Amino acid sequence: MSDEHKHSGNQSEEAMKARLEALGSALERQKDQKIGSSEALEATQKTGRAMSLGFRVLSEFVAGIIVGAVMGWQIDEWLGTKPVLLIIMTMFGTIAGFWNVYRIAAAPTGAQARGDKRSGS
């Protein structure tokens, strides 16, 4: 009787092994599929991130120029020096716009680096 018991134990062990193997391969397949789909997802996200970064650069640059121009225009109104300060401040605004873009592009340091790396910008 003990012999029989042992035999059946062996059998169930083998069945268990087969089941484990089947499960393992099914898991592997699942993983492969997941990696495939997440790669496609990552590609879309990369495009979106790149676009949002591009938009960020554009808006920072344009905002610098606009702020400079509006400031110069308003100070001109106050001082009565009609076109002079508008021209000068627009120039400075352009420089500020480039400075904004440089700050996005330059590698940030310290605590900022960790946050920015995650955003991809």
Please report, as ranges, the residues that interact with another protein according to CB under 8 A. 44-45, 48-49, 51-52, 55-56, 59-60, 62-64, 66-68, 71, 89, 92-93, 95-97, 99-100, 103, 111-112, 114-116, 118-119
CB of 39 to another protein, least distance (A): 16
CB of 82 to another protein, least distance (A): 20
Which of 56, 73 has the CB closer to another protein? 56
One DSSP character per residue, the chain reads -HHHHHHHHHHHHHHHHHHHHHHHHHHHHHHHHHHHHHHHHHHHHHHHHHHHHHHHHHHHHHHHHHHHHHHHHHHHHHHT-HHHHHHHHHHHHHHHHHHHHHHHHSPP-THHHHHHHHHT-
Which of 64, 76 has the CB closer to another protein? 64
Which of 24, 120 has the CB closer to another protein? 120
